[in-house]
Amino acid sequence: MKVSPFQRLHYALPLETTATLKRNCDQMIAKMVVTSMKALDALHSRISAPRLTDPPPDEETLENIYLAAFRAADHGLLRPWRFLVIRGESRAKLGELFLQASLEQDADLPPEKQESIRQKPSRAPLILVTISCPKEHPKVPDFEQNFSAAAASQNMLVAAHAQGVGAMWRTGTMAYHPIVMNGLGLQDNETIIGFLYIGTINGPLKTLSKPDIDEYFKEW
């Protein structure tokens, strides 16, 4: 008769010890199942939160968000990304960069439009800027490394949502304007993947219907 590892352990240890081990194993398995379900819930229910307010996430919550970035698909484990954390008065500096870039595009912007642009970074208490910084690699082209940085951003959005934190991925012309890129210290080979606005949800969120999976997934 084939004997399982747990049965062998059962024969070798006192009854009370094996009972405790089994109970602990059962609890661990149950916890893993619950954690897995929570992860799926977060993936299936994540949605952008455009209206955000104070307070920002605490440091423990932020660390969980940061760590999620490092689990993104990353060919070669190159970690071709870096992130800027913008909060407090730094948001006003980013707003000035946005305004300079906008005036470079249109010097005749009316004062109210200028003020609206200047205030854009104030729409959230904290902004994470995802920057792709590709590394030389014979098998991993730059565009693939950009995808990895984008995947890291998505992971952080899901991690925020899983902890009850609102988040919104924004780009637009400001993400690609040389004045903004230079002002944020980007190197020649670096690209802004997105501005992740993060904070406390301040308003109702959209309700999205379940997609028609068969429309997007086909047997080949």
pLDDT in tens, 53-62: 999 999 999 9
- What is residue 112's predicted lDDT score, i.e. its pLDDT? 98
Q: Is the dihedral of CA 150, 81, 160, 128 positive or negative?
A: negative
Residues 138-150 have pLDDT tens digits of: 999 999 999 999 9
Indicate the pLDDT class of residue 36, thresholds 50, 70 and 90: very low
Give the range among 23-32, 74-83, 109-118, 135-144 with minimum mean pLDDT: 23-32
Q: Which CATH class is domain 52-201?
A: alpha beta
Indicate the pLDDT class of residue 39, thresholds 50, 70 and 90: very high
Cβ atoms < 10 Å from Cβ of 181 = 20
Q: Given a cut of 90, is residue 103 above it in pLDDT?
A: yes
Start-to-end CA distance of the chain, whole Å, equals 45
Residue whose tokens read 């008065």: 89
Give the range among 28-32, 91-95, 101-105, 152-156 with minimum mean pLDDT: 28-32
d(CA 77, CA 195) in angstroms, rounded, equals: 23
Q: Given a cut of 60, is residue 211 above it in pLDDT?
A: yes
Strands 126-132 and 166-170 turn out to be unpaired
| Full-model pTM | 0.83
